[in-house]
Every structure is written in C-alpha cells, then in structure tokens.
Amino acid sequence: MESFLYDYAWLIPVLPLFGAALVGIGLISVNNVTNKLRQLNAVVILVLIGVAMTMSFALLWSQLQGHAPYTQSFEWAAAGSFRLTMGYIIDPLTSVMLAIVTSVALLVMIYTDGYMAHDPGYVRFYAYLSIFSASMLGLVISPNLVQVYIFWELVGMCSYLLIGFWYDRKAAADACQKAFVTNRVGDFGLLLGMLGLYWATGSFEFAVIGERLEELVASGALAGGLAALFGILVFLGPVAKSAQFPLHVWLPDAMEGPTPISALIHAATMVAAGVFLIARMYPVFEPFPLVMNVIAWTGALTAFLGASIAITQNDIKKGLAYSTISQLGYMVMAMGCGAYSAGLFHLMTHAYFKAMLFLCSGSVIHGMEAVVGHNPVLAQDMRLMGGLRKYMPITATTFLIGNLAICGIPPFAGFWSKDEILGSAFGANPALWLVGWLTAGITAFYMFRMYFLTFEGPFRGTDTAIQGELMAAAGAIAGGGSDDHGDHHDAKPHESPWTMTLPLAILAIPSALIGLAGVPWHNRFEHLVHAPGEAIAALAEFDQTEFLIMAGSSVGIGLIGIALAGLMYSQKAIDPKAIAQKIQPLYNFSLNKWYFDELYDRIFVVGTRRIARQMLEIDYRVVDGAVNFTGLVTVVTGQGLKYFENGRVQFYALIIFAAVLGFVVVSSL
C-alpha cells in the first residue's frame, strides 16, 4: 500500500487540475447549464481536493514513520549533453507542505460556498481555486529549479485571476495589475539567478547546485562574489512572492479580491512559496554568509515594516495583510539566521491561524453587509464595527484564538514557532533578535486593536455620520451609505451560515494545538523537517534556562502590547487620537504606509511615462523624420526624373551633349 501511495503521489496536483479542467470546459461549452448546476460543480471540486488531502496526510504519516525520501523522474528534454528531467519528490518538507496546502484549500472551498453563495461568478471562482491548488501542489513536489519556475509562474497567474476576479471594479483591476508587475520584477531576478547557477554548475537540481557551487568557489574556479550574486538574484523571487521589502507593496492591494482567496493564497499558501523556495535552495545559500545576511536582514526589516504600518490601518483585511507581510518577514529572517526548521514551523502554524483570521474577517464583512450593504468602504472599516461578539459569537471566539496564536501567547501555536525564531535570531545576531522582539510587541498591540474595535464596545454600523465621513474620505458623495440593495438593510449584523463557521471552528483546533508538535524539549517537527545534512543528535539539545528567559521576554512584551491596546480601545483610559496628534509625523508615516506607493508612483510610474514620452518624441522626430525625409527625397527625385523619360531620341541626345559639354568645362578648369 505504501509503495502504491508513493508511486501515485503525482495524482495529488493532477486531481484538482482535472476538476478545474472539467468545470472550465463546462463553462466554455455549456455555460448556462454549468452555472445552473452550481453546487454540483463545487461538490466535484471538493471531492477531488478531499482525495488529494487524504493522500497528502497519508504521505505525511509515512514520512513521520521514517520512510526514506522518494523521487520519481523522467527525461523531458535533451539536446547534446543537455538533459532536463521532470518528476516529483516526496520528502519531509514536501509532505508537510502538501498537508498544509490541501487542508487549508479544502476548508476555504467549503467556506466559499457560503461567502460566494449569491455571486454570479460562483462556478468560475471554484475553477480558479482548483487550478490554483493544482499549481501550488505542483510547485511543492517539484524536484528541480526549472519545474519550480513553471509552477511558480502558474501560481502567479492564478493570483492575478483571483485578485481581479471582480474585474468590473477599478480597484480590483488595478490591484491585479500591480501584483502582476511587481512579481515580474522578482521573477526576472529569479530567472537570471537560475541561468547564472546553471552556467556555473551545469545543473538545475537543488543539492547538485549547492555541492558544485561550493566546490567551484573553494577551488577558485568561480569568484565568491559572483556566486553570492547568483544567490541574491534567486532570492529576488521569494522577495516578490512572499511580499518582502521592497517588493511588498502589492499584497495589501491584493485584498481587493474575494476574502477566500485572501485566506488561501495571500495568507496561507502562495505567499509562503517564497519561504519554501528558500528552504529548497538552502544548500545553495548556506555556504555564503553574504547571502544569508541579506536574507536575514530583509526579513527583519519586512517584519518591522509590516507591523509598524498595521497599527494604523482601519480596513480589517488590509490590517491582516500587513500582519501577513510582517509574519512572512519573521520566516525569512529565520531562514537567513540558519533557523531552517523554526522558519518552516512558523510557516505551518501561521498558515492555519492566519487563514482562520482572514476567514473570520470575511465572516465579519458578510455580517456587516447586511447592515451597510455591499460596499467595501463601509463593510470592511473597523470604525463602523464594534460589539460584534454579541451578534457573531463563533466568529468572535475563533478570531480571539487566532489573535492569541499570532501574539505568541502560550500554549497557542504561534508562541512555540515565534519563540523558536527569536531564540535562533538571538544566537545569530542580537540586533536581529531586538527587531523581532519589538515587532512581537507591536504585533500584539495591533492585533488586539483589531479585536477590540471589531468585537467589543457598542455597535457603530448604523451611525450615518461615520458612514458619511468614510464615504467622503473615499471620494464618494458624503453620506452615501446605500448600495445596490437600496435601503433594505438589517439593523443588526448576523452570524454567518454553517458553511462559513464550520471551517473557522476546524481551523481553531490547529491554531490552538499544532504548536505542541514543536515544543523545544521534544520537538517532533524539527526531527521531521531539518536542514539538509543537519545531524539529528544536535536537535535534541534543550536549555531550560535559555528557553524561560527568551519565552518570558517575548510573552512579556506581547502582554504589554495587549494591555496597551485594551487601555486605548476597550477601557478608553487612553485616547488614541490624542496620542496620534502628539506624534503626528510618525502617525502619518504609518498611515501612509511609509509613502512607498507615492515614492514608487513618482519614480517608476511617472518616471517611466516621462521616459516613454521622450522616447516617443525621439521616435517621431528623429526615426520617423529620417524615414519620412528619405521618402520625400525619393518622391521628389522620382517626380523630377519622370520628365526626362519621354521616349524622344533628340531629347536624349541633347542631354548627352549637355553632360559631355559640362564634363569638358569642368575638366578644363
């Protein structure tokens, strides 16, 4: 049975791909019939991803039992000495990622039935979700860089389609284009790095590249700086995909897509693909301290940047988006510090609690739309919420569990993974630890700010004055709180249907308990997933005193952040507006997202347009001018010469006589 499971592991990405193809063909050929059979299509896709999930967990169990890594490959292309293979690899890292992607995808698809119930694009959305799942699963099982790159671009395409799902909304259309262009920058760097590594090593296989590159540098056949450059270029791919500084700007705008894809793609899976690629390329990066330092400091800066912006966000989804950027920064910092297992452990715990938090935000928006209508300006702004715990108890409870997990409060999942990262960062560089420690405090503050604004205090959703202010600020008509549903709104929000609350309840279990797989005195996760070549014996070391100091400091600053948020937004003992006025420049700096969008707009958008206009002017005046002048000369000379070709012999003789006479005159001078 086990052999059968490994031999047919390729079915895991193929099953959701088949589901997407089946539904897609139906939409193209018999659109009306396919759209009428809405839930049947959803059931087909759910069953297929469910089978893929069952196989994934079976493979994970097999790897936990100590089964050796399994690789299946075939020759895909050959030319002379060049050989390119394709196939799949099942190892501990792959098995963990397969389990994460399939389980989160299944729960998000169940949730989608309730969230998108009245959307005319319901079936199309399921097809997109399914093809994304197939692409992400294909990326995870890829055994070499070329295959990774193929699926890397496919998940990017799916992200583009899903961010712009409501393409008739300008904000969504702009957001998907922004995500596409920003990711092209990172992917171009990844492609250059891949080609450079192949030029140097003659291979696309991860382990082979690492071994040969290290040998070439050690022998002096390749400069260490050039090898480091190739590594940094490859790292640009994860910088874009995992929304790291300075290519982080696309992720908050990606929240224009439906909330289920915010949970699946832009919190749990696709954005984690960058961290996954760093893990796969670890044998290549590890021998070069420059590359590792660039990775570590990029992650640390991103973690702080995301947290510092999240503290002033009022849109619930954008607040969670900046939180995701910050947490991804933690993972990247861990990989750069050499904390391979800790970074991947945080990837796993974060996937579950952040997916739950995003789905909770979707539940909140769903409940708010009953009051304010289908207007994201009103339905997503926390200033119009408050007191939702009374109306949405399941959503509030699960959101609180997710909050405790991300804030690193024991025994919830985030505590074990984040504490392990901070401990490793302290051992590698205390400055990195300090940035991560401060970020942990800010994280606790902004997450409980979100909780208190959304679920505690009086309900503000029917306050027309606030609605008017928000609409006016958004550039709409002041006081325009109505939408396409007219004035038939409820006076109070309501809890979401069971298809939405059931996934929340299920995700709350790993959010609370999965961290126990990585307790430092018996770290099962680290024994399963550790850096290539790392000795198992070294993983058993546990210093209780060091753990208590590190854990105490991280939990302590987290509790300070929570207490401060409570005083400001629950107890009202401190006025947030008064503090904002006292530190107005810093507040504006955070509110305006460090002015990155304005800076990039001025440098790249306006600057590129200016260069384009100048090039157009050169093209018009110089290039076109030269071509047009040549044409004019040809026309004029042609028009003139036609009068000399009249067929009269006497006229030709006269021309010859005049030419000879002219030649004689010139010669005699």
Q: Indicate whether 481 pLDDT > 60.
A: no
Q: Indicate whether 211 pLDDT > 50.
A: yes
Q: Given this model, what pLDDT does residue 477 score?
A: 38
Q: Indicate whether 538 pLDDT > 70.
A: no
CA distances to 14, 266, 355, 537 from 502, in Å = 27, 21, 13, 41
Percent of the chain with pLDDT over 70: 95
- Could you read off the pLDDT of 397-426 as tens digits, one per residue? 999 999 999 999 988 999 999 989 999 899
What does the alpha-carbon distance between residue 494 and residue 605 come to, in Å, rounded to a whole number? 43
Q: Given this model, what pLDDT does residue 393 score?
A: 94
Tokens representing 384 are 């119009």
What does the alpha-carbon distance between residue 364 and residue 455 come to, in Å, rounded to a whole number? 9
Tokens representing 1 are 């049975």
- Could you read off the pLDDT of 133-161 as tens digits, one per residue? 999 999 999 999 999 999 999 999 999 99
DSSP 8-state code for residue 382 = G
- Could you read off the pLDDT of 278-287 as tens digits, one per residue? 999 999 999 9
**452 closest CA partner among 513, 392, 387, 506:** 387
Least trusted range by pLDDT, from 211-225, 333-347, 501-515, 643-657: 643-657
Q: Indicate whether 639 pLDDT > 90.
A: no
Query: What's the Rg (C-alpha) of the chain?
Result: 30
The answer to whether 145 touches 204, Cβ cutoff 8 Å, is yes
Q: What are the backbone dihedrals phi and psi of residue 392, each rounded to the nearest 5 degrees, phi first?
A: -130, 70
The answer to whether 558 touches 444, Cβ cutoff 8 Å, is yes
Q: Given this model, what pLDDT does residue 489 score?
A: 63
How much of the chain is helix, strand and coil, in % rounded to 5?
75, 5, 20
DSSP 8-state code for residue 312 = T
Percent of the chain with pLDDT over 90: 54
What does the alpha-carbon distance between residue 53 and residue 105 come to, in Å, rounded to a whole number? 9
Q: What are the backbone dihedrals phi and psi of residue 202, each rounded to the nearest 5 degrees, phi first?
A: 70, 20
Q: Given this model, what pLDDT does residue 480 score?
A: 38
* Average pLDDT over the chain, rounded to an integer: 88
What does the alpha-carbon distance between residue 557 and residue 409 come to, in Å, rounded to a whole number? 10
- Residues 6 or more apart whose CB falls under 8 angstroms from that of 3 comprise none
**273 closest CA partner among 146, 137, 176:** 137
Higher pLDDT, 399 or 634: 399
Tokens representing 365 are 């928006």
Tokens representing 324 are 């995701």
Q: What single letter denotes the amino acid at residue 14?
A: V
Collapsing DSSP to helix, strand or coil, 174 comes out as helix
- 531 CA to centre of own chain: 24
What does the alpha-carbon distance between residue 368 and residue 467 come to, in Å, rounded to a whole number? 13
Quick one: 266 exposed, middle or buried, by C-beta within 10 A (0-12, 13-18, 19+)?
buried
Tokens representing 437 are 């420690």
What does the alpha-carbon distance between residue 220 and residue 651 come to, in Å, rounded to a whole number? 81
- Residues 6 or more apart whose CB falls under 8 angstroms from that of 526 comprise 341, 345, 518, 539
- Could you read off the pLDDT of 554-612 as tens digits, one per residue? 999 999 999 999 999 988 888 888 898 888 899 999 988 889 989 998 888 888 888 88
- Could you read off the pLDDT of 163-181 as tens digits, one per residue? 999 888 888 999 999 999 9
Only one residue has tokens 């959101």, namely: 399
Tokens representing 441 are 């405090």
Q: For the range 601-610, what are the long-range contacts, defined as Cβ-Cβ under 8 Å and sequence gap of 24 or more?
A: none
The answer to whether 445 touches 562, Cβ cutoff 8 Å, is yes
Three-state secondary structure of 231-263: HHHHHHHHHHHCCCCCCCCHHHHHHHCCHHHHH
- Could you read off the pLDDT of 38-51 as tens digits, one per residue? 889 999 999 999 99
pTM of the predicted structure, to 2 decimals: 0.89
Q: What single letter denotes the amino acid at residue 390?
A: K
**162 closest CA partner among 184, 129, 136:** 129
Q: Given this model, what pLDDT does residue 529 score?
A: 87
- Could you read off the pLDDT of 63-115 as tens digits, one per residue? 998 889 999 988 888 887 788 889 999 999 999 999 999 999 999 999 999 89
- 333 CA to centre of own chain: 17
- Identify the helix (H) or strand (E) that includes residue 483: none
- Could you read off the pLDDT of 246-266 as tens digits, one per residue? 999 999 999 988 989 888 888
Tokens representing 545 are 């005193």
